[in-house]
Amino acid sequence: MSDQKYLKKVLTHKSGQFVFSANFDQLEALKVLLPAEAVCRTLGDYPMLPQFFAQLDAELIRRSIFGTAAIEGNTLDEAQVGDILAGKTHAEPGEFELEISNLKKAYGRYADYPAQTEPLDLSEETIKDIHSLITQGLANKENIPGQYRNAEVKVGDVEHGGVYTPPKILADIKTLMAEFTDWINCAEIKALPAGIRAGLIRNQQVRGSSPRAGSRNIKALRSKERKAFAVFANVLRT
């Protein structure tokens, strides 16, 4: 898909021009979306006990949290992630265990979000809230949960595709986040499937790195967008 109505160009003070783009290969997207929609319809029409639905939901959340954390460099396997989600944690959890517990809290915050007839708006407050939940207690001196960073960072290295410098100053970050939420909530973008919209959020989050979480595995992020940002996918579901 290539259409100017999906593009938004923003000029910053010291970081140059940024482009928010929703251009994507419709055919490739349909190869993923159509089977997923078919499965959802089948499950919705199939008579199942509530207990089975609860088990299925728990399994999907476990897999999603495991995948999200693995992309960011978390080395825990899926069984270990399942144990943490089930409440089997150490008295003094390590960094990777804390990451999983934080993601669990984020899912818990938005898992039971009331059903909407229209796609939800994504606000800066929601972004900051999720950032606060997933980074709380992690060992990063320059990170303040729920706050935009106020220091220059560099992402990646020469070996894995080059070094990328996200927006350099807080003023540019604030400008871009305001423009981003305006763009992601416009009628044209909200009309896209929720999975596509979540993927666009993930793509822009990687490029902008506004709340400072920091990626430990830029190679995985750049090689392929394997998963839409899982928590946002829940927030944006219709």
Mean residue pLDDT across the chain: 78
Q: Is the pLDDT of residue 238 over 80?
A: no
* Closest C-alpha among 19, 20, 16, 22 to residue 172: 16
Give per-residue pLDDT as tens, 179-235: 999 999 999 999 988 888 888 887 776 665 444 443 333 333 333 333 333 334 333
Whole-number pLDDT of residue 123: 92
Q: What is the architecture of the domain spanning 49-236?
A: Orthogonal Bundle (1.10)
CA 76 to chain CA centroid, Å, is 19
Tokens 């990646």 label which residue?
Answer: 156
Helix (H, G, I), strand (E, B) or coil at 17: strand
Give per-residue pLDDT as tens, 116-172: 778 888 999 998 999 999 999 988 777 889 888 877 777 666 776 677 677 778 898
Whole-number pLDDT of residue 221: 32
Tokens of 27: 């055919």
Cα gap 64→44, rounded to integer Å:
20
Which sequence spans correspond to the domains of the chain? 49-236
- pTM value > 0.85: no
First to last CA, the chain: 22
Tokens of 84: 């943490």
Helix (H, G, I), strand (E, B) or coil at 158: helix
Whole-number pLDDT of residue 212: 42
Q: Which residues contact 198 (CB under 8 A, 6 or more apart)?
A: 228, 229, 232, 233, 236
Whole-number pLDDT of residue 76: 95
Tokens of 124: 């800066």
Whole-number pLDDT of residue 140: 79
Whole-number pLDDT of residue 57: 82
- Contact in structure between 184 and 201 (CB atoms under 8 Å): yes
